[in-house]
Chains A and B, each alone.
Chain A
Amino acid sequence: MDFDYNDEQKMLKQGAREFFEKECPKSLVKQMMEDEKGNPPELWKKMSQLGWLGLIYPEKYGGGDGNMIDLIALEEEMGRACLPGPFLSTVLLSGLFILHNGSEEQKKEILPKIAGGQLILTLALTEQSDSYEASAVSVEAKAEKDDYIIDGTKLFVPDAQIADYIICIARTKKGDKPEDGLTAFLVDRKTPGITITLLKTLAGDKLCEVVFNKVKVSKKNIIGKLDQAWGPLQQTLQQVKIAQCAEMVGGAQRALELAADHAKKRIQFDRPIGSFPVIHHLIANAMMDVDACKFLTYEAAWKFSEGMPCAKEIAMAKAWTGEAYQRTAAMGHQVLGGIGYTLDGEMHLYFRRAKSGELTLGDGKFHREALAKELGM
């Protein structure tokens, strides 16, 4: 494993930084937090033109044949930019699930359109039970001739308000184990019976309640195998977590830089506050914390891209990165003081996203428990 990106990845990363600085200023980020759609169409289109929406997909589905290391290089810059929009829900959660589990027809139909920026998708997993366990899925889908009828409510579904399709994880059979009998359905958002309500969130990202009231879906719209969605879904979530960690790495790195920059410039007691050892300590701790995030994430990404087992590494990366990003942004607020507490500042963007990133797809406790299992406990 290398502790640095290769030259091409460095170019991708640098190009992305320049692009986002120009096309995704913090004023746009803040505007999108208030905006109901939350996805500036011009920005999405340009990212598509740059090949970033399909970066991780194979060429035959309109993609760029990139690997996980390419993806995390880009994700770091998205995190730094606080990029709004449905990259995680559309390109990663939905696109990767379809790539790994869909029929050839489904892949050819959908993936090039995601890469081309023409389709927005999301994945509806969590419910009011607030858990990523299989036992938490209660939304049911009952067979009726050539169709299934989906009934129930999904909660905390990202970007459903703008999605063209929703991949709904529903219970099709009551098996012996909660993991058995779950199926993934590709549902057109405009199907009668779907009601979407946008929730108001800490980070201004778009989480929704999606009510399925006797929603009819054709059997042809099942992705993967009937009753057997859980295992494949977990595999996709594992991959998405690596990317999500990289996004948090980029955010945490930027929060650290903002704190250090402020400490160098802010004069109190006739000296820059950054010359006080107490500030040195805060910054030094955050440097080590952020580096730990980076290397745990890089190791998980590297093992994943080499096809090596990486459940431990992913659990570590997600547990550490979520909490460390939050610690770093909170430290940033302490250093910035009052000026960081105003909406004009940027630190609060990282502070908000740190917490939502920590909670999304399983928090530190969840992943330490997963790690404990991996350690044979």
Chain B
Amino acid sequence: MLWAPGLLGGLTGGVQGPIIMQHGTPEQKKEWLPKIAAGAQFALGYTEPNAGTDLASLQIRAAKDGNDYILNGQKMFSTGAHNARYHWLAARTNPEMPKHKGVSMIIADLTAPGVTVTKLTTIAGDRTNEVFYDNVRVPQTNRIGPEGEGWNITRSALAAERGDLGTFPWPKILVDELIQYAKETKRNGKPLSEDPQIRQTLAQLSMDVSVLRLFGRRLNYMIEKNQDISWSAPFSKIFESELSQRIANQGMNIMGLYGQLEQGSKYAKLKGHIELAYLTMVVRSFGGGSNLRLRSDIATRGMGLPREPQLAMPVKK
């Protein structure tokens, strides 16, 4: 997963604890939960160069060797891997099984011999990483859940992550800042807030923020009532990410030439938030699941539309 810290904040151990509680053995709970409680940092290791939206085609190999697995392969966009001690890995334990069934969830030590973490820099200036595994030895006791169950565990972790996205505070903060800016800033002798088009834009964005809030609250309501949220959970994720991008883009237009000034620059307004958001928010419409794919999930699960048929002749990789 691609996560930019800075404006967004990174994911910490938020998803690991609950999953170990649910799927771990008593020994694993005893080993890992105190570490997590003490602040052990995990980086997520799902995405690979050829496994993005089609995550189940991930290739990193975990081959059995005695009581260990030997890991070989590469993870991409592993934010925080250069600081974290552990890697929350989805790895292929059985290449003979269909692609969804041969994956297991494994905790690797990022300081082990054979692990190389290299830097990738995002357009927003944040660091993420590639992580290479070259014959890295991991005890099989580090596998969370049964072998081959990694896909289901990953999906439930992703769902938790997407629910988290609904509580993202920045859209409201940025719109409130822009409204304040429009009231206080004059152009051609008149406050921006008297410009009819700017009034329309900010009113619309403010409505959008309300819709985001209502989507989030409805999701909580459905969870409380034990209703199926598989189709409604992505509403918040899709709506928030695209709203964040609209706010940044339209905020730039409202701020005019000042919009392009970075945090720390002379003359920068609103602490450079809008400029930073313009770049940072790009990630949100594909990080944590591509909105393009999630829309298909919504339509098929929520409205009963048929899935896209699988290709009879898969394209050779």
Contact indicator B211/A295 (Cβ below 8 Å): yes
Would you call B305 and A279 a contact (CB within 8 A)? yes
Chain B, 222-247, CB within 8 A of any chain A CB? 222, 232, 235, 238-239
Cβ of B303 and Cβ of A3 under 8 Å apart?
A: no
CB-CB nearest in chain B for A256: B303
Nearest Cβ on chain B to A207's Cβ, whole angstroms: 27
User: Does chain A have a CB within 8 A of B193?
Assistant: yes
B171 to chain A, nearest CB (A): 14
CB atoms of B299 and A296 under 8 A apart? no
Chain B neighbourhood of A285, CB < 8 A: 295
Please report which residues of chain B, range 170-209, place their CB below 8 angstroms from some CB of chain A when the two chains form the complex.
179, 182-183, 193-194, 196, 199-200, 202-204, 206-207
The answer to the question of A2 belonging to the interface, with a C-beta cut-off of 8 Å to chain B, is yes
For A295, the chain B residues whose CB sits under 8 A away are 211, 214-215, 218
On chain A, the number of residues with a Cβ less than 8 Å from chain B's Cβ atoms is: 40
* Contact flag A375-B221 (CB < 8 Å), given A283-B303, A295-B211, A369-B203: no
B121 at the A/B interface (Cβ < 8 Å)? no
Q: Of residues A2, A264, A281, A283, which shows the largest number of chain B Cβ atoms within 10 Å of its Cβ?
A: A283
What's the Cα separation between A123 and B182 when bound, in Å?
39
B305 near A274: Cβ-Cβ < 8 Å? yes
B231 → A minimal CB distance (Å):
8
Closest to B192 in A: A377
A377 touches B182 (CB 8 A): yes
Cα(A28)–Cα(B202), bound, Å: 43
A359 at the interface (CB under 8 A from B): no
Confirm or deny: A277 has a beta carbon within 8 angstroms of a beta carbon on chain B. yes
Known contacts A280-B295, A287-B298, A319-B207; decide if A275 and B202 are in contact (CB<8 Å): no
> Which of chain A's residues 297-337 have a Cβ closer than 8 Å to chain B?
299, 313, 315-316, 319-320
For the complex, is A11 an interface residue (Cβ under 8 Å from B)? no
Cross-chain contact B200 with A369 (CB below 8 angstroms): yes
Find B309's partner among A256, A275, A283 (CB 8 Å cutoff).
A275
Complex partner residue of A292 from B193, B200, B214, B304, CB under 8 angstroms: B214
Q: Does B217 contact A (CB under 8 A)?
A: yes
Docked Cα-Cα span, A376 to B194, in Å, equals: 11
Query: Interface size of B by Cβ–Cβ distance < 8 Å?
Result: 40
B208 to chain A minimum Cβ distance, whole angstroms, is 9
Q: Does B300 contact A (CB under 8 A)?
A: yes
A372 interface contact, C-beta 8 A: yes
Decide if A371 is an interface residue (CB 8 Å cutoff): yes
Residues of B with C-beta under 8 A to A376: 179, 183
Is the CB–CB distance between B299 and A271 below 8 Å?
no
CA distance A292 to B217 in the complex (A): 12
Cβ contact within 8 Å between B207 and A316? yes
A142 CB-CB contact with B under 8 Å: no
Q: Are A284 and B215 in contact (CB under 8 A)?
A: no
B307 at interface by CB-CB < 8 Å: yes
A272 vs B295: C-alpha distance when bound (angstroms) = 18
Assess whether A263 is interfacial by the CB under 8 Å rule.
Answer: yes
Task: Decide yes or no whether A22 CB sits under 8 A from chain B.
Answer: no
B308 at the interface (CB under 8 A from A): yes
Contacting residue for B200 out of A264, A280, A365, CB 8 A: A365
Give the chain A neighbours of B207 by CB distance below 8 A: 296, 316, 319-320, 368, 371
B200 engages A291 (CB within 8 Å): no
**Interface 1/0s, chain A 360-377, versus B by CB < 8 A?**
000001001101100111
**A290 CB, min distance to chain B CBs, angstroms:** 11
CB contact under 8 A between A287 and B296, given known A277-B308, A377-B182? no
Chain B residue at smallest Cβ distance from A370? B203
Q: Does B83 interact with chain A (Cβ within 8 Å)?
A: no
A288 CB–B CB distance under 8 Å: yes
B285-317 at interface with A (beta carbon < 8 Å): 292, 294-296, 298-300, 302-309
Nearest Cβ on chain B to A222's Cβ, whole angstroms = 36
When the two chains form their complex, are residues B298 and A3 in contact, meaning their CB atoms are under 8 A apart? no
Q: A287-B299, A288-B238, A377-B182 are in contact. Are A263 and B203 (CB under 8 A)?
A: no
Contact call B299/A284, Cβ cutoff below 8 A = yes
B210 at interface by CB-CB < 8 Å:
yes
Most buried by A among B202, B206, B305, B306: B305
CB–CB B296/A277 < 8 A: yes
| Choice from A263, A264, A287 contacting B302 with Cβ under 8 Å | A287
Q: Which residues of B contact A296 (CB under 8 A)?
A: 207, 210-211, 214
Complex contact B300–A3 (CB within 8 A): no
Between A and B, 14 residue pairs with Cβ closer than 8 Å are A256-B303, A260-B299, A260-B303, A264-B305, A272-B306, A276-B308, A284-B299, A291-B232, A296-B214, A320-B211, A372-B199, A375-B203, A377-B179, A377-B183
Binding site for A on B (CB under 8 A): 179, 182-183, 193-194, 196, 199-200, 202-204, 206-207, 210-211, 214-215, 217-218, 221-222, 232, 235, 238-239, 292, 294-296, 298-300, 302-309
Q: A274-B299, A319-B204, A376-B179 are in contact. List 9 more A-B contacts (CB 8 A).
A: A260-B305, A280-B296, A281-B295, A283-B303, A284-B294, A291-B215, A295-B215, A369-B199, A371-B203
